[in-house]
């Protein structure tokens, strides 16, 4: 289900219940199109996420942590000026549109009351967040600016009058009775679900399909209105059943139980919990792709290049292993030089290396003398013999490169935006890429930030998400007798438990996190080794993140995203 008008209505109802009369205490803008409001309401702090992301626009209470920039963007500073310390008087939805309006009261520098409106438009790539002065109706600023050149319908710029998004002129779902619904549907045209979406405001394709499904195998003028009105009654009374459905690895969410969708279901206590869980990692992964698509492409190209290199080197090695054959041909030719005449293209001689005494054909260069032909075979023999050691060394080096880039690709898959620069810096330090001109002045070295977890037994453990973090958590952060974990023979994160004798539950949970942040994330029964830090060594000259270890014990776990999320501090 998309963030349709009914989802917006359910979220508005939830936020109004939780946040009305609440006070905005802090405002952050962790990313270009996303805001975090800390709101104190009913004796509790709530983290409200407002996103105008083109792919993941949404609004909900969140429990996730976000990294904030050291210097807040201009829009964030303006919101702090006008809204920090202010009171949320009311939260409403505009008809059945995907627009939520926050009515906010505050006092200016002179102590006079001021009234602002925060418009949150959740409309895909057209999503926006605008702060409007209620008295004048003028836009103070917006998270996205829309100039007259971009839109002939409305301009969204500071100082311009705020104009609502264009109306869709659809019927209000709560005002449609049986007869009016039937007037809008052409049963002969088919595609009833699509007709419902086109005629009814706020209705997503998913809800429309559920109405048709509930209407039965034969949808007619009797069954369709009954199914429609039953669903509308449930929604009107704010009776929700937030659930996430997973089918063939694809996830969908809904505020109602959708019987037409088959798959694994998980229910949630609130609409916010559902949305927070559904978008967990998705929006972050999208940001990583936007920030590091060039880096990801480079890593995959390097991985592929080294795989091809190994294949070519193995072919060279096969040729090199013919060294003894060249030696044999050279010796047979030398022994039979008296039989060779200049200009011969080949000669057949007895193979005295063959126990059965068979004959062998030796190819010759007619332009060369018999002795030079023999010397040519000896040269091929020496060249092939000497190249074997070199080729073997190059194959080993290329295999190490494949493992290294395989590891970095895995790290990119689970990287947060703040991890990307550390991966990029590592590649610069290792000489794989050049430092950008704007980055010529290297930033002061800072300690890598580790992801922190707390087991259900109350024991802390830490996770490295890239090689810099892995080296730090293993070689500097951890103590000698603490427990270290890593997936067995699989690229993944280094995990350190802050205990010398953790209980079994902590071990299993830390191992589950290690398996989740590995290449085996989608597998089951993943082997994870654990040992004391004192048994983990980093060989001199080895690649970042590479270690060897012994005295390990192996346990098997299945990665669980919900468990990982619940343990994160």
The pLDDT of residue 470: 95
- Mind giving me the DSSP string for 435-478? PPGGG-SPPPP-PPPPEEEE-TTS-EEEE--SHHHHHHIIIIIS
pLDDT the model gives residue 353: 83
Closest CA to 414 of 561, 530, 556: 561
DSSP state of 476: I
Distance CA 470, CA 499 (A): 18
* pLDDT tier, 418 (very low <50, low <70, confident <90, very high otherwise): confident
CA distance 461 to 28: 28
Residues 6+ apart with CB under 8 A from 417: 31, 67, 284, 287, 288, 291
The 10s digit of each residue's pLDDT in 544-565 is: 999 999 999 999 999 998 899 8
Q: pLDDT band at 212, cuts 50/70/90?
A: very high
Among all chains, which residue has been given the structure tokens 């200016």?
A: 108
3-state SS class at 118: strand
Distances (CA, A) of 158 to 103, 285, 433, 487: 19, 31, 41, 53
**CB-based contact 490:519 (threshold 8 Å):** yes
Question: Whole-number mean pLDDT of the chain?
Answer: 90
pLDDT attached to residue 390: 86
Residue 1: is its pLDDT beyond 60?
no
Round to whole Å and give the CA distance between 323 and 328: 9
Residues present in the chain in total = 569
Going by C-alpha positions, the residue among 17, 89, 72 that lies closest to residue 46 is 17
CA 396 and chain centroid, separation: 31
What average pLDDT does the segment 86-105 reach?
95
Q: What is the pLDDT of residue 251?
A: 87
Task: State the average pLDDT over residues 106-118.
Answer: 90
The Cα–Cα gap between 516 and 564 comes to: 8
Residue-level pLDDT at 438: 55
Domains observed in the chain: 5-142 (2.30.310.10), 178-282 (3.40.970.40), 292-413 (1.10.287), 451-567 (no CATH)
CA 286 – CA 139 distance, rounded (Å): 29
pLDDT of residue 218: 86
Asked whether the CA dihedral 53, 56, 62, 63 is positive or negative, the reply is negative
Q: What is the pLDDT of residue 68?
A: 84
Distance CA 153, CA 502 (A): 63
- Judged against a pLDDT cut of 60, whether residue 569 lies above it is answered with yes
Count the neighbouring beta carbons within 10 Å of the beta carbon of residue 469: 25
Q: Which residues pair with 529 in a beta bridge?
A: 486, 554
Which residues are CB-contacts of 28 (< 8 A; sequence separation ≥ 6)? 35, 36, 66, 68, 72, 76
Q: What pLDDT sits at residue 33?
A: 93
Give the span between the Cα atoms of 395 and 384, in whole angstroms.
Answer: 16
Residue scoring higher pLDDT (320 or 82): 82
Rounded (5°) CA angle 47-53-57: 65
**Inter-helix orientation angle 370-413/323-335, to 10°:** 180
429-470 pLDDT, tens digit per residue, is 888 988 765 555 555 667 888 999 999 999 999 999 999 999
The full DSSP string for 484-526 is EEEETTS-B--EEES-SS--HHHHHHHHHHHHHTBTTTT-SSE
Q: Identify the three-state secondary structure at position 27.
A: strand
Tell me the CA end-to-end span of the chain in Å, nearest whole number. Answer: 30
Of 207 and 569, more confident: 207
Task: Note the pLDDT of residue 67.
Answer: 79
541 confidence band (pLDDT: 50, 70, 90):
confident
Q: Are 22 and 83 in contact (CB under 8 A)?
A: no
In 3D, which of 542, 521, 417 has the Cα closest to residue 471?
A: 542
Q: What is the pLDDT, as a whole number, of residue 78?
A: 96
């Amino acid at each position: 289900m998309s963030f349709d008008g009914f989802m917006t209505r359910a979220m508005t109802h939830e936020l109004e219940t939780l946040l009305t009369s609440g006070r905005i205490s802090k405002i952050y803008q962790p990313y270009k199109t996303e805001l975090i409001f800390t709101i104190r309401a009913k004796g509790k702090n709530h983290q409200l996420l407002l996103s105008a992301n083109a792919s993941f626009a949404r609004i909900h209470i969140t429990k996730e942590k976000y990294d904030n920039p050291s210097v807040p963007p201009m829009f964030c500073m303006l919101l702090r000026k006008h809204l920090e310390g202010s009171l949320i008087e009311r939260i409403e939805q505009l008809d059945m549109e995907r627009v939520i309006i926050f009515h906010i009261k505050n006092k200016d520098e002179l102590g006079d009351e001021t009234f602002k409106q925060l418009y949150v438009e959740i409309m895909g790539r057209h999503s926006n967040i605008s702060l409007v002065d209620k008295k004048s109706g003028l836009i103070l600023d917006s998270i996205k600016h829309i100039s007259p050149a971009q839109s002939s319908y409305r301009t969204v710029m500071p100082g311009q009058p705020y104009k609502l998004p264009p109306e869709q002129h659809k019927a209000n779902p709560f005002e449609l009775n049986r007869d009016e619904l039937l007037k809008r549907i052409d049963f002969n045209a088919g595609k009833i679900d699509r007709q419902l979406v086109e005629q009814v405001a706020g209705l997503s394709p998913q809800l429309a399909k559920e109405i048709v499904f509930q209407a039965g195998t034969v949808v007619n003028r009797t069954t369709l209105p009954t199914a429609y009105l039953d669903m509308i009654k449930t929604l009107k009374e704010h009776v929700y059943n937030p659930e996430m459905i997973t089918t063939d690895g694809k996830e969908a969410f809904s505020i109602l139980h959708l019987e037409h969708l088959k798959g694994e279901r998980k229910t949630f206590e609130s609409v916010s919990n559902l949305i927070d869980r559904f978008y967990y990692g998705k929006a972050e992964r999208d940001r990583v792709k936007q920030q590091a698509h060039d880096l990801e492409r480079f890593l995959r190209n390097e991985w592929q290049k080294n795989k091809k290199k190994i294949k070519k080197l193995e072919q060279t090695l096969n040729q090199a292993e013919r060294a003894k054959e060249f030696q044999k041909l050279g010796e047979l030719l030398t022994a039979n030089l008296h039989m060779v005449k200049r200009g011969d293209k080949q000669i057949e001689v007895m193979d005295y290396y063959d126990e059965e005494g068979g004959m062998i054909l030796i190819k010759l260069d007619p332009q060369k003398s018999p002795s030079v032909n023999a010397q040519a075979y000896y040269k091929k023999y020496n060249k092939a013999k000497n190249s074997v050691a070199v080729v073997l060394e190059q194959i080993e080096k290329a295999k190490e490169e494949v493992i290294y880039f395989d590891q970095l690709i895995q790290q990119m898959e689970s990287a947060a935006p703040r991890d990307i620069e550390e991966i990029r810096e590592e590649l610069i330090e290792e000489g794989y890429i050049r430092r950008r001109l704007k980055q010529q002045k290297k930033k002061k070295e800072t300690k890598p930030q580790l992801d922190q977890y707390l087991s259900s037994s109350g024991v802390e453990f830490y996770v490295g998400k890239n090689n810099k973090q892995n080296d730090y958590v293993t070689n500097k952060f951890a103590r000698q007798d603490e427990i270290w974990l890593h997936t067995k023979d699989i690229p993944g994160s280094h995990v350190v438990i802050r205990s010398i004798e953790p209980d079994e539950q902590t071990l299993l949970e830390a191992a589950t996190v290690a398996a989740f942040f590995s290449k085996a994330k989608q597998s089951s029964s993943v082997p994870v080794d654990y040992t004391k830090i004192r048994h983990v060594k980093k060989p001199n000259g080895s690649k970042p993140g590479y270690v060897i270890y012994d005295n390990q014990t192996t346990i098997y776990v299945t990665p669980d995203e919900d468990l990982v999320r619940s343990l994160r501090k």
